[in-house]
Amino acid sequence: MTGKKRSPKSGGKEPVAVEASACQHAHSHSHTQTKAVLNRMARLIGHMQSIRRMVEEDRDCSDILLQISAVDAALRGVGKIILKDHMEHCIVESVHENDHEALARLEKAIDQFMR
């Protein structure tokens, strides 16, 4: 990374604030993939720390970008697991309960996730 400045911008993707009420469930159920998600998140955190060390060590930009791409793909994979689990449990139950608000929140979440 010799002599090149890195932009602090996130490529136009800013973190999205999530309202607490949108994350709470009005029904009780179990998420079957919680352990898998937490394990993947732990690996992602370790990977991000490795990338940070690469930046601190002024490693080659191409190598850093490759690792960032791998983290991005892995994070999207975690999102897909969460989405699938949500659809299999939360949404199925919401449909049975005729909970249109939950379906609207899912639609909004999918729109954000697909950006």
> What's the predicted TM-score (pTM) here?
0.66
Which tens digit of pLDDT belongs to each residue from 7-53? 444 444 444 444 433 445 555 556 788 999 999 999 999 999 999 99
Q: List CB contacts of 16: < 8 A, sequence separation 6 or more.
A: 112
User: Phi/psi of residue 3, each to 5°?
Assistant: 70, 5
Number of domains forming the structure of the chain: 1
CATH number for the domain that contains residue 44 = 1.20.58.1000
Range of the domain at 38: 32-113
Q: How far apart are CA 13 and CA 115, in angstroms?
A: 8
Q: Which tokens in the block code for residue 56?
A: 């601190």
Residue 49 in domain = yes
Residue 4 belongs to some domain of the structure: no
Tell me if 89 is assigned to some domain. Answer: yes
**What CA–CA distance (Å, rounded) separates 16 from 27?**
25
Burial 19-32 (b: 16+ CB within 10 A, else e): eeeeeeeeeeeebe
